[in-house]
Amino acid sequence: MRVQLTLSSAWLAAAAALETWLRVRGRGVPDAAGMQVVYAMALTGGVLGWVLGVLLRAGPMFVGDWRIPTWLARATPGTLALSIGLTAASAAGAPSIVARAADVLAVATVAAAVLAAGALRRSRRALPMLARSLPEARIFRVAVASSLAASLLALWALALGPLAPRALTDAIRHLVAIGVVGAIVIAMTFRLIPALEGRPLPWPMLRSVALWTLAGALVLRTGQVLVPLGWHAVTPLVGASGVLAWAAFACAGLSFVSRPPTGGSGPASTEGRT
């Protein structure tokens, strides 16, 4: 975990340094190809790497038998770095299929980690994550589903090669950024506030609101892959996905607001922990 988090922090620092250099060289306007590399370093190596690193320890909050195989945990930093390298090669002029391969490698790493750790492993006729806090576990399922959906779309884009529409690759990146990273961050926020602050969530129902708004945002945003197929009627719905995504994050943010106590000064209720 230390190696994963250290490398992820280094990727974030490197992304900031690269963007600064690109902006200085471009007199405030960085070139688009270079920013694709910055994006990959920041999201794939930095944010996604951090999330996977944290899940090495925090996964049991959602899955009872969570355990990422040691060999996979050790390989993860390398596969993410290779994905970034492929993105850089594409930005430098390599065929577009190289960029598609980078997407496949990044999302496949996430999907492999959560699946190998036991996210879908059944135990006593129920998903083990159901034994944990149910509302947060449902949000965590959104992350699992997003990783699988992104993997399938990335394979589709790889098969299409140069013919892959931008709407398809854009949907993949939103599934990773909002579906995987966003869902895990929101789920952990709701789960950790009672544990770290020793108080119940002020509005537990916001967990359900966050679940459905986040799921709705992802469905609408992924619907953009239908536009190149002639389904232009979904275009207005794609724009609405941003509002739903912000609503989901707002639900998590509002949970940091303490509600005035209504009773004595006894221990915090466990209502918000279940």
- 108 pLDDT more than 50: yes
Q: Cα dihedral sign for 3, 82, 151, 240?
A: positive
* 164-211 confidence digits (pLDDT tens): 888 888 899 899 999 999 999 999 899 888 877 778 888 889 999 999
How high is the pLDDT of residue 148? 94
Task: Give the residue carrying structure tokens 């699946």.
Answer: 115
With cut-offs at 50, 70 and 90, classify the pLDDT of residue 111: very high
pTM above threshold 0.95: no
pLDDT-based confidence at 273, cuts 50/70/90? Answer: very low
Tell me the pLDDT of the chain averaged across its residues.
Answer: 85
What's the pLDDT band for 133 if we cut at 50, 70, 90? low
Confidence of residue 122 (pLDDT cuts 50, 70, 90): low
Query: Are residues 147 and 111 in contact, defined by beta-carbon separation less than 8 angstroms?
Result: yes
Q: What band does 158 get if pLDDT is binned at 50, 70 and 90?
A: very high
Query: What is the pLDDT averaged over residues 238-245?
Result: 89
pLDDT score of 129 more than 80:
no
Written as one string, the DSSP assignment of 88-157 is: HHHHTT--HHHHHHHHHHHHHHHHHHHHHTTTT--BTTB-GGGGS-HHHHHHHHHHHHHHHHHHHHHHHH
* Nearest 10 degrees: Cα torsion 62, 64, 69, 70: 90
> Would the pLDDT of 258 be above 80?
no
End-to-end alpha-carbon separation of the chain, Å? 28
* pLDDT surpasses 80 at 153: yes
C-alpha angle 83/85/90, rounded to 5°? 95
Q: What is the pLDDT of residues 214-223, one digit of tens each?
A: 999 999 999 8
Distance from C-alpha of 82 to C-alpha of 125, rounded to nearest angstrom: 38
Q: Which pLDDT score is estimated for 172?
A: 92
Does the pLDDT of residue 267 top 70, yes or no? no
